[in-house]
Amino acid sequence: MRSPYGKGLLHGVPIALGYLSVSFGLGIKASQLGLPVWAAVLTSLTNLTSAGQAAGLDIIAAAGTLVEMILTQLVINLRYSMMGFSLSQKLDGTFTTSRRLLVSFGITDEVYAVAVSQPGRLTASYMLGLISLPVVGWTLGTLLGGVAGQLLPASLTAAMGLVLYGMFLAIILPPARKERSVLLVVLLAAAFSVVCKYLLPFISGGFAVIISALLAAVIGAWLFPIKEEVAE
């Protein structure tokens, strides 16, 4: 019978393979922006978030301020806190404070989706197994992409750098097709981003991301509020 850690490792294989291909594009982007390979790899190893890391690279390339970086990461990655609160209801008694902190590092959209769908309580061994391979896949892909970005012709790396943006489209298109509210928020965020780029050029790229995301989210929440269920 497979151990909880082994079961977690097995469930993490498809996530790791997906991260390997996506982070390859991230490594290429980092190379294009002039970031050393070791720095890109260290960033991936310590920051397991695709959208947050991509936005962070843009801020670094634009010589943005630390305040921009902090606010951008807070806005983009706030959802992970909500996922952590949700998963905390399924944890068993083997979770100490140190284990909670360790596992929280590896909570991503995909890891959360797999973990929350498991029947019964989640053990610390299972969660550690689940996050192990995705961390390796994300870091290894960044390394390979960073090295490839320095060795391959610029025309080829520019084309391969589109992988990261393809991932973003794959994330937003399915829910946008199903929910009119999601589609509107996506379009609003894109529109605000264009306005900041061409009509408000004095706003830095980092703050443009923050402003666009917050305005779109606020308008979406105002137009499409989620009604609270009344307990019977």
Q: Does residue 151 sit in helix, strand or coil?
A: helix
Alpha-helix runs per DSSP H in the chain: 4-32, 37-46, 50-61, 66-88, 97-105, 109-116, 124-151, 154-160, 162-178, 180-198, 205-223
Residues 84, 104: Cα–Cα separation, whole Å: 7
Instruction: Encode pLDDT of 128-166 as tens digits.
Output: 999 999 999 999 999 998 898 887 776 666 666 566 666
The whole-model pTM stands at 0.70
Confidence (pLDDT) at 49: 82
Residues 80, 110: Cα–Cα separation, whole Å: 11
Tokens of 225: 């509020």
* 61-70, 81-90, 205-214: least confidently modelled range: 205-214
Instruction: Encode pLDDT of 93-114 as tens digits.
Output: 888 888 888 888 888 888 888 8
Residues 216, 76: Cα–Cα separation, whole Å: 13
% of residues, the chain, pLDDT over 90: 13
